[in-house]
Structure 1
Amino acid sequence: MGARKRLRAENNKEAKKQVSFASLRNVPTSPRKMRLVADMIRGKEVNTALDMLKFSSKEASRRVEKLLLSAIANWKEKNEGVRMEDANLYVKSINVDSARILKRLRPAPQGRAHRIRKRSNHVTIYIDSNVDNQQEIKS
């Protein structure tokens, strides 16, 4: 690996240590259905997002709720002295990417076959504190 590439990789690694996130891989739900839930909480305060997910009727919201709780736990681990209520956490970004697709065949009339695609996805949630951003603006 070249010097520039190594330096950039080290910088990316250090930047990732500062960010609190959680990711969920190979969720057996179509990305389109998961994006509906992700759009619902993007940019919202963490407590509001948890309430929205808890009372949502969508099946994907249960998985995203658990993932958000994991991201909050990761944030607490990095910021041990800070209370969650004082930090004013919010969902900075949430990404839903397509994962592997299982391809199956379903019999069709007259000896034909129709392809069925069983889609899955990857979800990543980034959370951040509004207090840090407000202090930077005031400075």
Structure 2
Amino acid sequence: MEAKAIAKYVRMSPMKVGIVLDLIRDKNVNEAFAILKYTPKRAAVVVEKVLKSAVANAENNLNLDINTLFVAEAYACQGPVLKRFQPHAQGRAFRILKRTSHITLVVKERA
């Protein structure tokens, strides 16, 4: 049994979110919450929110025990890219890519 939560169109680069996701992958849920609480990255706040949602889905929809849950899968896929332009010297335009990401967390019961 597995529960899943997805946050879509998060205004953060998937590479930056991936650094935080690597910290909690294959960890118990309680340990993952502790790690996220003390991680000084902006992505940690969003990932914690998604993890809370996945745990709530597991508890309410599938009647799983919170104490036996662990983060089975954690990944960030690239969402649509917002393309912007910034003026540069001599009338040139400099392109800025504002990346978005879709964060997916899957929690399972440890056997």
TM, length-normalised to structure 1? 0.76
Structure with the bigger percentage of helix: 1
The partner residue of 1:123 within 95, 99, 103 is: 103
**What is the rounded CA distance, in whole Å, between the counterparts of 2:102 and 2:75 in structure 1?**
8
1:83 pairs with 2:60: no
Between the two proteins, the alignment pairs up a number of residues equal to 111
How many percent of aligned residue pairs carry the same amino acid? 37
**What is the rounded CA distance, in whole Å, between the counterparts of 1:54 and 1:128 in structure 2?**
21
Residue matched to 2:38: 55
Structure 1, residues 92-129: CA drift from partner, whole Å, max 9, x if none?
00120000111011111111111000001000100000
Greater gyration radius: 1
Instruction: Give unmatched runs, 5+ long, in structure 1.
Output: 1-17, 132-139
CA RMSD after TM alignment: 1.1
Residue matched to 2:84: 104
Structure with the bigger percentage of strand: 2
Runs of 4+ in 1 over 4 A off after TM superposition: none
- Greater RCO (Cα-Cα under 8 Å, separation 6 or more): 2
* Aligned-partner residue type, residue 110 of structure 1: Q
Instruction: Give unmatched runs, 5+ long, in structure 2.
Output: none
